[in-house]
Structure 1
């Protein structure tokens, strides 16, 4: 049960020239992440995924290994707590927490394989055999006027019943994009929008006023993550639910937001917020304040598998047999070889749902030959 080694593998998949896509603040020219490989003394291996710049994560690894090698895999959360306590000058926002996140995923994967149990059984039990997804697309591109409608048409053709699109260029442009999406998708598809923190409070209000008639499911990251007072004012005013959290770290960050009830939907990213270790605490905080949760996912198939296990383990409280709106997992539609191609058995969605794996650990198998093709040298 002792951890024998931890390695980080930097991955990058360039996006072809002219095909960059992304958000209101920038477009992505590559998809990059850090794959974690954690090995136990008996040879069992677990995998995880870290957000952030791979080079920075790799620089953190010697410090982290000094706490982890020789630690019982079931005791790893105590090692994480020691890291945050002793190195408090680093803060929780940044590479130490990114790295902890991926290592925790890998540790839970290894522990599940050791015990013959899926991760969802280790972190709360299996509440559901499937999890519902929303399709995340409608990206801004180098030529959004040309590319937007085909993205939405593809969503409609695929039959997605809940989708998220990128906005945040301007309130005028927001309404144009949402009106197009509503026309193509029809009246019954739930549409969420993502501003990626590009607005101030006044601009967010102007945009939401324009979008409310289109029956928007939530407005994501309308403000900068540091603007807690702005979120509190916006949530009190907005006729549309407010969602945020992908740029928040550990339960400490989320507690400040949740205590003020400045949000309607919290969105922890397990590859960034502290893995399952912190994800469980964030979910408990949200549950105690009766706030919805929907994990952010924008990485590899490893992070997607982690989010599926996480959501499958969450109680449906305060609901019972009637669940008005299920907890949704983000399912990225962007061109991303790191999501499916590095897995032997990728978690595909069907009918708006993903079947929760019951195999030990995360229930995924890495194609190491495919991984090798994307390693950054």
Structure 2
């Protein structure tokens, strides 16, 4: 079944005055994404999502369509390999790879619809039907001190068993935020922290050491993603797991991490790293290196659905009957209409897990009214 059309759709959702939120480096005043619609010759449509600035993604559409259109949907990964081989001067750490990611997700969605199978069964087999998650919040805002504790209180009321909070302003601020979170959440909730690459090695070492009494589950992106050598030094200097990978592209970037012993938890984002195509390779790398995996999700509803299928298909190895720490999905608590409003049936947590959609492909249905409302 051949692909007959490829369309990129830019979406933007402004948050409004005073509602920006984000991380140590900057706040976001809105959410944006690029949807990918892929059409097959029988009219079947597949949907994907590409990370990054929509205008840049849209600029890649005609170039990538020249390769993709006319190809069997089941042969799409060979097309991607040909693009990278022929145009190696472009590199892989760019929006072209994000656009390829969206195309691959859309192709897997369409293939699943053709076969009447969920994507998880196409990429390794569906091992689980529901995925545990951590609630990603505790954001920095325009008024970070008064806004922080209420965010954590809402997490406590919801009963989340694992949460992630933003730190990275300074070691003093890190201690204050984590101490507040621990006091509100209690001793049993796993607290993960995210620096978003705002530190140099010496500051990261200080922060991680000072957070030790609060038993954080991992420190995410303590250093710039390019600083593999110092990530390895930090990892050797602490017993706290180091997590990173949301800004890395393809298995080649992740192999640099594993070769250096620079991370304990790999965090590919399927809408950026190369879709399921590269996501499966990264999972095999983690498998071979006996490292944990937890996909990054901070986009829209399609990326969330893709991550659910991805986790559902991951092997249990090296565990068997007892799983000390299951693979966790990131579930963003921030206001995000591109996640909450995009689907006719939104993907929501329930009883500590999020169910993997049951239908063919990604198992989701786009709401045309939302496309109209948020179309840029």
The TM-score, its normalising length taken from structure 1, stands at 0.99
Deviation by residue 1:227-270 (Cα, 9 ceiling, x = unmatched): 01001101111121000000000000001101222100000000
The 2-side partners of 1:285 and 1:63 are apart by 30
Alignment gaps of 5+ in structure 2 = none
The 2-side partners of 1:38 and 1:64 are apart by 12
Aligned length: 376
Shift of 1:318: 0.2
Deviation by residue 1:295-322 (Cα, 9 ceiling, x = unmatched): 0000111100000000000001000010
Spell out the pairing of 1:67-106 with structure 2 (5 A cutoff).
67-106=67-106
Deviation by residue 1:172-227 (Cα, 9 ceiling, x = unmatched): 00000000000000000000000000001100000001111101000000000000
SS of the residue corresponding to residue 295 of structure 2 reads coil
SS of the residue corresponding to residue 272 of structure 1 reads coil
Matched, 1:272 2:276: no
Matched, 1:315 2:315: yes
SS of the residue corresponding to residue 9 of structure 1 reads strand
Aligned to 2:117: 117
The 1-side partners of 2:4 and 2:346 are apart by 28
The 1-side partners of 2:11 and 2:54 are apart by 8
Shift of 1:358: 2.1
Q: Aligned-pair RMSD on alpha carbons? A: 0.6
The 2-side partners of 1:307 and 1:151 are apart by 25
SS of the residue corresponding to residue 181 of structure 2 reads helix
Deviation by residue 1:55-106 (Cα, 9 ceiling, x = unmatched): 0000011110000000000000000001111111110001110000000000
Kindly indicate whether the alpha-carbon contact (under 8 Å) linking 1:160 and 1:351 is maintained by their aligned counterparts in 2.
Answer: no
The 1-side partners of 2:351 and 2:324 are apart by 18
The 1-side partners of 2:79 and 2:171 are apart by 46
The TM-score, its normalising length taken from structure 2, stands at 0.99
Aligned to 2:210: 210
Alignment gaps of 5+ in structure 1 = none
Matched, 1:5 2:27: no
SS of the residue corresponding to residue 71 of structure 2 reads coil
